[in-house]
Amino acid sequence: MLALGAVWYVAFLFSITLHEAAHAFAAYRLGDPTAYLGGQVTLNPLPHIRREFFGTVVMPILSFFLSGWMMGWASAPYDPFWAGRNPKRAGWMALAGPAANLLLVIASGALLRLGLASGVFAPSGSLSMAQIVQGTGSMSAGAATLLSILFTLNVLLFAFNLLPLPPLDGSSALAIVLSERAALAYLSFMRQPIVGMLGLLFAWFVFGPIFRPVLYLALRVLLAGYL
Q: Which residues are catalytic?
A: 20
List of residues 6+ apart from 86 with CB closer than 8 A: 30, 31
Interatomic CA distance for residues 1 and 15, integer angstroms: 21
DSSP state of 206: H
Cα–Cα dist 47/175, whole Å: 29
**How many residues are there in the chain?**
227
Angle formed by the axes of helices 87-118 and 193-222, to 10°?
Answer: 30
